[in-house]
Amino acid sequence: MSPKPASDKPPRKAQANPLAMAGAAMELGIAIAGLALVGWWLDSKFTTTPWLMMTGLAMGLIGGTYNIWKMSRKYFGD
């Protein structure tokens, strides 16, 4: 008995789940707000206003955007 030939069809991509996308958007918002609040708190402790808050805001934006990019690659390909 001969083996079955390999299928010429490309592998299916995962379908975009609306709840997963909503979760990614929540992660973005929480990352930005959370790190901005940590920066604000550190600014009040070290009297460096507004530098640590702005640094936390930037780090949250970069990290949250990276998470959304990673998830979108999973669902929509390269």
What the block records as the tokens of 68 is 């959304």
- The confidence score (pLDDT) of residue 36 equals 96
Tokens 């083996």, residue located: 3
Note the helical H segments in 1-78: 18-46, 51-76
Q: What is the DSSP letter of 32?
A: H
- The confidence score (pLDDT) of residue 13 equals 61
- State pTM to two decimals: 0.74
- The confidence score (pLDDT) of residue 71 equals 86
What the block records as the tokens of 75 is 């669902």
Residue ranges in the chain whose pLDDT is less than 70: 1-14, 78
Q: Which residues contact residue 65 at a Cβ distance below 8 angstroms, ignoring those fewer than 6 apart? A: 28
